[in-house]
């Protein structure tokens, strides 16, 4: 049996950059350094859902965490993560190593070390206080909504996993922490 039973959970858009908000793609398809780096190190990959696309589609505007911290979005995170957590638990109970969850810092959904916040919402345009809205945008030193929920769900089933994040300007650095 050749499998080595090492698995990571990876933010959806690292494998599929097309899920990102328009303007944020830094590569044409997915992050080759991370994906090949993981496979070369012997890690299988479970792709996490892109909850933002599921809720708001590919034509959505960029958002901040406080916009997404509402019951319906959290509930959608839970329902999309449920089959993944069940799969993780099955692996875990059968001796597989769940090596890490790899998120994407800055994202309101998939951030790990930091996310974004601000008075962001409503109509867009100077008549609607756009400058003040832009000025209110800031970094928030906490995880994004889906990562909060994923951590809760893994704790509920007794699976302890470290959470790390991709730095898109230096993608291979996240591999050092595995
Ligand atoms: S919600 Fe997560 S998976 Fe979707 S585009 Fe944003 S960072 Fe990527």
pLDDT for the residue 167: 82
* Both tokens assigned to 159: 């699976």
Write the residue with the smallest CA distance to atom 2 of ligand 1: 110
Mean pLDDT in residue range 23-34: 94
For Cα atoms 144, 145, 148, give the angle at the middle one, nearest 5 degrees. 85
C-alpha 129/C-alpha 124 separation (Å) is 8
Cα 2 to ligand 1 centroid, rounded to whole Å: 32
Nearest ligand 1 atom, CA 49: 3
pLDDT for res 80: 98
Which residue among 110, 114, 115, 116 has the greatest number of ligand 1 atoms within 8 angstroms of its CB, and so is best to mutate?
A: 110
pLDDT at 130: 94
Q: Is the CB of 107 under 6 A from ligand 1?
A: yes
* Mean pLDDT, all residues of the chain: 96
- Cβ neighbors of 131 (< 8 A, separation 6 or more) are none
pLDDT, tens digit, 9 for 90 and up, residues 60-88: 999 999 999 999 999 999 999 999 999 99
């Amino acid at each position: 049996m050749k499998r080595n039973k090492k698995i990571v959970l990876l933010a959806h858009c690292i494998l599929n950059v097309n899920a990102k908000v328009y303007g944020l793609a830094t590569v044409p398809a997915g992050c080759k350094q991370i994906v090949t780096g993981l496979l070369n190190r012997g890690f299988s990959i479970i792709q996490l859902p892109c909850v933002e696309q599921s809720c708001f589609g590919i034509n959505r505007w960029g958002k901040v965490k406080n916009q997404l911290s509402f019951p319906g979005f959290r509930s959608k995170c839970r329902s999309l993560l449920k089959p993944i957590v069940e799969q993780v638990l099955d692996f875990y109970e059968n001796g597989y190593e769940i090596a890490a969850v790899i998120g994407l810092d800055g994202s309101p959904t998939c951030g790990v070390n930091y996310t974004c916040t601000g008075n962001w919402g409503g109509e867009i345009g100077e008549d609607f206080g756009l400058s003040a809205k832009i000025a209110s945008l800031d970094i928030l030193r906490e995880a994004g909504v889906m990562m909060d929920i994923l951590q809760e769900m893994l704790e509920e089933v007794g699976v302890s996993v470290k959470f790390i994040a991709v730095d898109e300007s230096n993608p291979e650095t996240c591999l050092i922490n595995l």
